[in-house]
Amino acid sequence: MTTEQDHGRTTATHGSRIDAYVDRYAARATGMVASEVRALFAVASRPEVVSLAGGMPYVTALPLDAVGELVAELVADRGPVALQYGSGQGDPQLREQICEVMRLEGIEAGPDDVVVTVGSQQALDLITRIFIDPGDVILAEGPSYVGALGTFAAYQAKVVHVDMDDEGLIPEALAEAIEACARAGQRVKFLYTIPNFQNPAGVTLSAERRARVLEICRRARVLVVEDNPYGLLGFDGEPMRALRAEDPDGVVYLGSFSKTLAPGFRVGWALAPHAIRDKLILAMESAVLSHSTFAQLAVGRYLETQPWREQIKAFRELYRERRDAMLDALPKFLPEGCTWTRPAGGFFVWVTLPEGLNSKAILPRAVAARVAFVPGTGFYADGQGTRQMRLSYCYPEPDRIREGVRRLGSVIEQELEVRDTFGAGAGRHRPGVDTPGPDLA
């Protein structure tokens, strides 16, 4: 990888490409390979391309004047604290505010049980660090968040996917997967699940299934890691009760301000049972000492001084309009045989192509036609997903979304013609997890 990911910059990579250290890396580093699709996404970040690939929130909708004022006041009022090291667990006041945010999803918790992390990505990294020995099993929805799969691969976990349908994770499939692992003598360390507006599938775990998933995991003594970046971004009614709300001892809950405020502060958190929290703090200190005090206090001051609930409502309305634009455009422009999910919140739609098409093979042609998406294989650890793609509607404006889907539709049409003329040529699948760029979060 060179610097393609620095959008708008291209710098020649100088020097030799021979890796003098190739015989000295750790075993875990062999799984660290740059995604094949990275270079394409560099092209996809050009303004003429409609990117339905990225998971970037629309931060332009924030009250930037107010944010500018509050960070200036933060330095004026509390500069020597904001610019100093902080505790590994995170700012105490922010942790109290985080508890207030989680209360919207039925969670009763104290600030002692919260650990502030560098985005919820770091919480994922730390929880994997303290639980996973090479070869241990993590259960995850199929498909699942590409960034989680990358982290799990970095710790040499074996990911076993559990099927979903329109109501989310299928409890019977979960129970079967746990039993199969037990029969095979495999240690299941935790279930990783995104219950709300799942990334990438866009589906939500129904209330009835939540109880059953928790019961199955409790009986099998399988910890649940509930990753919930989108829970407050539902388009209909009140937020659902978190899994953590029903089972404080069996669930580690991961939250984030990246989608409800802004990713630029990189403030996320883990809420964990006491013993796990203790280990998380030690792992946090070993990893980064502590998160940026400045970033934490800026988020805290935002929550303290700004109408954050109303801002989340504004985000919901904005993303709902974009979701509608996409769901409106898909049947118009995508050829027969394509199917997709209907998210009730969050950022993503999961599209399944007609048989014989391969989304990764289509991507270069789509980018040439000035539209980008993320191919489905990145969201599986086992090579599934060749016929799927993730479309995001969070960042482009509605007209651009429609235009993007139109362009995508005609690319797929052409692929179908090629398929019908020459037969299905399923593209090669390279094993291993595609590490995501940050903008694919």
* CB of 284 vs its own copies, minimal distance in Å: 9
* CB of 264 vs its own copies, minimal distance in Å: 4
**Of residues 294 and 380, the one with the C-beta less far from its own copies:** 294
Per-position DSSP letters for 213-252, written without gaps between them: HHHHHHHTT-EEEEE-SSTT-BSSSSPPPPHHHH-TTTEE
* CB of 337 vs its own copies, minimal distance in Å: 34
Q: Which helix (H) or strand (E) holds 65?
A: helix 64-82
* CB of 159 vs its own copies, minimal distance in Å: 14
**Of residues 262 and 314, the one with the C-beta less far from its own copies:** 262
List phi, psi (to 5°) of 237.
Answer: 65, -160
* CB of 69 vs its own copies, minimal distance in Å: 7
**Of residues 187 and 309, the one with the C-beta less far from its own copies:** 187
* CB of 409 vs its own copies, minimal distance in Å: 28
Q: Dihedral of the CA atoms 417, 338, 140, 361 (nearest 10)? A: 20
**Of residues 144 and 435, the one with the C-beta less far from its own copies:** 435
* CB of 29 vs its own copies, minimal distance in Å: 4
**Of residues 135 and 337, the one with the C-beta less far from its own copies:** 135
Q: Dihedral of the CA atoms 362, 364, 368, 372 (nearest 10)? A: 80
**Of residues 232 and 411, the one with the C-beta less far from its own copies:** 232
**Of residues 93 and 206, the one with the C-beta less far from its own copies:** 93
Q: Is 327 exposed, middle or buried, given 0-12, 13-18 or 19+ CB atoms closer than 10 A?
A: middle
Cβ atoms of 371 and 329 closer than 8 Å: no
Pick from 218, 214, 226, 211: nearest CA to 270: 226
* Residue listed under structure tokens 């979701």: 323
Cα radius of gyration rounded to whole Å, the chain? 22
Q: Where are the alpha helices (DSSP H) in 289-430?
A: 293-305, 308-333, 359-368, 398-422
